[in-house]
Amino acid sequence: MLRFARTILVAFVWVAVLCPYSDGSIDLSHPVERERFVFYFDNPRYIDKADSVLNQTRIRLAEWLRDSLTYKPDIFLTGDISEFKKLIGGRFPEWGAAAAVPYKRRIVIKSPDHFNLNRRLEELLAHEYSHLALAHRTGIKPAPRWFDEGLAMRTSMEWSWSDNLAMSRAAVFGQLIPLAEIDRVNRFSESKAHVAYAESYLAVYYFYDAYGTEAVNLFLDRIGAGESLDEALMAATGSNYADFNEEFRLYLLTRFNLTSLFMDTMWFWLALALIVLIGVFLRYRKRRQYYRKWEEEERLQSTDFDYGDPDNPEQTDDEDEPWRQ
């Protein structure tokens, strides 16, 4: 769920061996400034990677949003949870790994050196930068949360098999979430938030695919101009908010159903069976290697510890036994 399974112990061992020591705090007096971003990282080894990812993300967003994105945001990476909350300056769910603060043009991310993020740093950077870019595009009036989160997921290319399975379950068991309700995603449980994020991704995908980039940007223009969601969607798609939501719901029910749930579940069990078979094979091969090694050692090892005549060891002088001289 939301790429939810990494091994904490392995992460801690990796950090202990490879990463320089850091107490998790950021030295705000010594930022690292690049051409388009300013970095405040408690571990500078991540800066080059972050700068590269953000520049690539900026190119995609400039094309999708028809915006120049000329401003220079601040990017924070910290291992101190108190500092993280202070930099965000608001409520935040415990399961969250990063946040964007648009009015400060700021991204704050928990350091992978100190937290089990469950997602790659590259994904987090692209996701949060998308939030900043969209806020810059619409100005004072924000886009709806489903569009904001869906665009962020599209930007960071986060869709996975677990999202597919979550949507199949939600469609089959009547747990699809109305788009307007996704505005409260920060109050959702982790499992419900997973469905909300997946739906948001699909809603943006559907919007771009069904109506095109120009229609999406017309929608954003109208939002930025202060029009209601009904008016903005009507201008872009010919449907008001309720009709667009129903249109999208029918699209989901066509794409996700009992068949897709069965296929997703089947692939899960097939993958699990494959992992078990690989594990059994590797264990068998390792045992065979040990057995061959033992056989080789026994073949080469002599069991005759007397270097003279084995039938009359004390009666035969052996020149290879110098201690007998």
Among residues 186, 197, 6, which one has the least CA distance to residue 94?
186
According to the model, what pLDDT value does residue 209 have? 95
Cα 122 to chain centroid distance, Å, stands at 8
Q: Which residues contact 159 (CB under 8 A, 6 or more apart)?
A: 153, 198, 201
Residue 201 contacts residue 209 (beta carbons within 8 Å): no
Q: pLDDT tens per residue, the chain (325 residues)?
A: 444 343 333 332 223 333 333 456 777 778 999 999 999 999 999 999 999 999 999 999 999 999 999 999 999 999 999 999 999 987 777 778 999 999 999 999 999 999 888 889 999 999 999 999 999 999 989 999 999 999 999 999 888 878 888 888 888 888 999 999 999 988 888 889 999 999 999 999 999 999 999 999 999 999 999 999 999 999 999 999 999 999 999 999 988 876 655 565 554 544 455 676 676 667 766 666 665 666 666 666 555 544 455 556 555 555 555 544 4
Among residues 198, 219, 59, 43, which one has the least CA distance to residue 129?
59
According to the model, what pLDDT value does residue 20 have? 38
Tokens read off for 9: 């112990």
Strand partners, 100: 107
DSSP line for 213-271: HHHHHHHHHHHHTT--HHHHHHHHHS--HHHHHHHHHHHHHHHSSHHHHHHHHHHHHHH
Say what angle helices 121-138 and 213-224 make with each other, to 10 degrees: 60
**What SS3 class is residue 31?**
coil
According to the model, what pLDDT value does residue 8 have? 31
According to the model, what pLDDT value does residue 128 have? 96
